[in-house]
Amino acid sequence: MSLQHQKCWYLRLALVLLASSAGVAAEVASGGELLYNGIRLPDTWPPRLTGLGREPMPVPYLKHPPEVISIDVGRQLFVDDFLVQQTTLNRTFHKLQYHGPVLTADKPWESGSHEDIFGRRSGHIAAPFSDGVWYDPTDKLFKIWYSAAFYKLTCYATSKDGIHWDKPSLDVEPGTNIVIRHSRASFGRGSQTVWIDERETDSKRRFKMFETLPDPDHLDNFEFLRFGLRFSPDGIHWSEPILRPQSPRIGDRTTAFYNPFRKVWVWSIKGAGAGGEGRARAYREHVDALIGTAWQAEDVYPWAYSDRLDPRNPNPELSHINPQLYNLDAVGYESLMLGLFSIWQGGLKDKPKRNEVLVGFSRDGFHWDRPDRTPFAPANEQPGAWNWGNVQSAGGGCLVVGDKLYFYVMGWSENNTTTDRTINTGLGVLRRDGFASMDAGPQEGVLTTRLIQFSGKYPFVNADAVGGQLQAEVLDRNGAVIEPFSRANSVPMSSDSTTARLAWNGVSDLSSLAGQPVKLRFYLTNGDIYSFWVSPDQSAASYGPVGAGGPGFTGPIDTVGTSGETPVGVKPR
């Protein structure tokens, strides 16, 4: 593709983003794909947005939810009002509790003093630039791929608990844990995203690495980057990258992820923002990872951009700068797509660029609801903080470890300058499903769902009702109680559990209601509820995706519930 055509693609993205700040126009759904949750996609997909500017992205399925919502896939999280018809409960969003750095640059090859194209030395680096953190059920190990020596190396480490990491001596470069040395250009590589693909039938391609690499004809030109794909049978021995030079050039922070609900690979493509400035995201999807890495301008669509609600830099010298979307990683988690938005807030010459990670949620895989703009994985400008300036997410998103979620992030420490830097891998911990809770105090609160439908038998909740109680009843489409699933027969719950089973006296399960549109009504005092689901198994298996996996799971889907290993996990500090 000619340089002129490449420039046209960037201009096309910029013009669409700039077109209007009044909202986003999207085609109304009619006869398109029917999703797992009852959402009907429009005939034209991906949507053709015509006004993505500084206003938050409208979310069509929240404005017009399905008449009946299927809940057979995954735990149903209360991060939005998709499932809620009416409530007097209060929604609270929660952020990560940091455990601190768990992986640091302590090997000589992870540091360096060479200058990059910006005149900076590498410093001490052992952190993901997306890359990936996964739990591999084959050998029951946590695995991380991370950048070292200022993006000149990709290294590999393993852990039994996700906290204490080993850097094995490998045969790729004997005596080191290096798996790839990026020597094609002076700046090495841009982003990488590693994915363990359990759907892959070719064992040699079970591990996939999506890469942003220099164009072979412009090795030292940072403006000429292409997308590549590597394969590996073990995550250690990688093929040479398959580059697709016929594709338009891309930004260095381009990443990829898999949408398990629609079974497509999605490329989160870094491009120009409004007015041709800044950073934004364009969207590309394809069912085949390799074929999908090659695209033309007409295959890519404007997608996401930082808006007026995103946090600004707290430094008064930089507070005037409009935030930008530096990166967007995503992963399937239970009943929705979890988006990790790295929001750029500017920087000074003697300080690193400031990024913080915020969360977004999508139930159709394209439109993002971002109701909370408090940083989920914040920076910390306290002296000596490991996450002092620049925090960004890891590929794979999150791991399920017992009743906790583990999030790994890159963190730049305080002594960063334009000539030296220390970048480590930190761990943030969250309650499982704990992005948002619906809360009640001493006065009883009520939540009634929209019409839902399920094929399972056993109802479960993730709730903390210690010091209070939770009860539930089942209603028909007209709001009448369906006996014997009344509040009077409901067995009160007064515990704290991520897998608490709801029960009614005189009945063993909800099988008599399977396939019928019904509503659930929860009564809560002095407690919090995070999610609910109806499982076909007494184990509480949700049959939803579990991010990058975790101990006890046999793959990326929860098919085991409480019958798998359930480690207690780290206590946040």
Domain with CATH 2.115.10.20 in the chain: 97-431
The matching CATH number, chosen from 3.90.550, 3.30.70, 3.30.2010, 2.60.120, for 436-535 is: 2.60.120
pLDDT at position 22, please?
32
Average pLDDT score, the chain? 87
CA dihedral 297, 299, 302, 305 (to 10 degrees): -100
Mean pLDDT of 219-231: 76
> Are the beta carbons of 451 and 493 closer than 8 angstroms?
no
For residues 557 and 106, what is the distance between their CA atoms, to the nearest angstrom?
A: 35
For residue 5, name the pLDDT band (cuts at 50, 70, 90): very low
For residues 531 and 334, what is the distance between their CA atoms, to the nearest angstrom?
A: 10
For residues 371 and 394, what is the distance between their CA atoms, to the nearest angstrom?
A: 22
Domain with CATH 2.60.120 in the chain: 436-535
pLDDT at residue 380 tops 70: yes
Q: Between 7 and 194, name the one with better pLDDT.
A: 194
- Among 227-231, 250-254, 276-280, 390-394, the range scoring the smallest mean pLDDT is 276-280
The backbone torsions φ and ψ at residue 292, rounded to the nearest 5 degrees and listed phi first, read: -65, -20
pLDDT at residue 187 tops 70: no
pLDDT at position 117, please?
46
> Are the beta carbons of 41 and 32 closer than 8 angstroms?
yes
pLDDT at position 568, please?
37
> First-to-last CA distance in the chain?
51
The matching CATH number, chosen from 2.60.120.10, 3.90.1170.50, 3.40.50.20, 2.115.10.20, for 97-431 is: 2.115.10.20
For residues 416 and 379, what is the distance between their CA atoms, to the nearest angstrom?
A: 14
Angle CA 485–486–489, to nearest 5: 90
For residues 333 and 327, what is the distance between their CA atoms, to the nearest angstrom?
A: 19
Residue with tokens 């934004």: 280
pLDDT at residue 113 tops 60: no
pLDDT at position 572, please?
34
Q: Which residues of 115-142 are buried (b: 16+ CB within 10 A; e: fewer)?
A: ebeeebbbbbbbbbbbbbbbbbbeeebb
Cβ-proximal residues to 140 (8 Å cutoff; 6+ apart), any chain:
160, 551
pLDDT at position 103, please?
97
> Are the beta carbons of 163 and 571 closer than 8 angstroms?
no
Instruction: Order across the sheet with 280-286: list the strands.
Output: 255-259, 264-271, 280-286, 301-304
Closest CA to 491 of 475, 513, 469, 465: 469
- Residue 62: how many other CB atoms lie within 10 Å: 14
Quick: pLDDT tens for 241-289.
Answer: 887 666 667 778 899 999 999 999 999 998 765 544 578 899 999 999 9
pLDDT at position 422, please?
86
Asked if the bond preceding 536 is cis, omega within 30° of 0, the reply is no
Quick: pLDDT tens for 448-493.
Answer: 999 999 999 999 999 999 999 999 999 999 999 999 999 999 999 9
In the chain, pLDDT over 70 holds for what percent of residues? 84
For residues 567 and 400, what is the distance between their CA atoms, to the nearest angstrom?
A: 10
Is pTM beyond 0.95? Reply is no
> Are the beta carbons of 447 and 463 closer than 8 angstroms?
no
pLDDT at position 190, please?
78
Quick: pLDDT tens for 62-78.
Answer: 999 999 999 999 999 99
